[in-house]
């Protein structure tokens, strides 16, 4: 009986440690995985990214932050990025995927509409606001007017400048409508846990130029 109680105490202690450190471990795994995926994109060219855009990819409804189980399932995730984004003011560098799915949003940003190419119309991206600073879309809510957002398909670089930030309802879709101009809209949760609304950050396209690896050093 004493031996059983001892083993039970050990199990309870281990479960306590797992529950205590699981958020830290989850964020650490995601951080390393996103970094690995960005290294993968560094080896890809425009032809590869365009090839991914031509592929048919599933779409899922994603309303919750990723769980520890989702993160474990994503350990073997390779992804098929169509572009990537860079925000100098926050240091954010993320892959962009063609659709919104659990795994795509777990490892980058997802396009909310179908696009044949970048730089035309309202380019809407969704991303998770994680609890850890710098992870996925955590810092998007901290963007200010005048901040720059860069998106590239490794053929051209599109430079957007933030002009507006607003709180919207979770089911509000008018933010994705076309407004007669070329712009970007970044959508994420208002708070990292139990979000009630969404934050939408809008920016106007102010420039486009040929791709150059040096642009990632822009500050």
Close Cβ partners of 34 (under 8 Å, ≥ 6 residues apart): 94, 95, 107, 108, 135, 136
**Catalytic one of 107, 138, 164, 189:** 189
Angle at 136 between CA 15 and CA 187, to 5 degrees: 120
107 counts as catalytic: no
Residue 188: closest CA among 142, 122, 119: 142
**Catalytic one of 107, 128, 138, 164:** 128
128 counts as catalytic: yes
Residue 170: closest CA among 10, 61, 74, 16: 61
- Residue 86 CA to residue 33 CA, distance in Å, equals 17
Residues 123/127/133/134 CA torsion (nearest 10 deg): -50
Close Cβ partners of 175 (under 8 Å, ≥ 6 residues apart): 124, 168, 185, 187, 200
- Residue 109 CA to residue 111 CA, distance in Å, equals 7
Q: Tell me the catalytic residues.
A: 128, 189
């Amino acid at each position: 009986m004493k031996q059983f109680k001892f083993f039970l105490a050990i199990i309870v202690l281990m479960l306590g440690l797992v529950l205590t450190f699981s958020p830290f471990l989850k964020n650490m795994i995601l951080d390393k995985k996103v970094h690995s995926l960005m290294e993968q994109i560094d080896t890809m060219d425009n032809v590869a990214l365009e090839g991914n855009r031509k592929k048919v990819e599933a779409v899922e409804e994603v309303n919750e932050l990723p769980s520890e189980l989702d993160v474990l399932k994503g350990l073997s995730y390779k992804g098929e990025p169509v572009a990537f984004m860079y925000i100098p003011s926050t240091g954010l560098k993320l892959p962009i995927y063609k659709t919104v799915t659990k795994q795509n949003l777990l490892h980058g940003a997802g396009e909310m509409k179908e696009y044949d190419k970048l730089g035309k119309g309202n380019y809407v991206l969704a991303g998770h606001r994680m609890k850890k600073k710098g992870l996925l879309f955590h810092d998007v809510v901290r963007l200010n007017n005048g901040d720059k957002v860069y998106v590239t398909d490794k053929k051209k670089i599109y430079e957007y400048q933030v002009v507006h930030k607003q709180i919207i309802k979770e089911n509000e879709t008018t933010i994705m409508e076309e407004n007669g101009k070329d712009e970007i809209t970044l959508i994420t949760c208002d708070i990292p846990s139990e979000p009630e609304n969404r934050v939408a950050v809008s920016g106007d396209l102010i420039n486009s130029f040929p791709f150059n690896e040096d642009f990632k050093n822009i500050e």
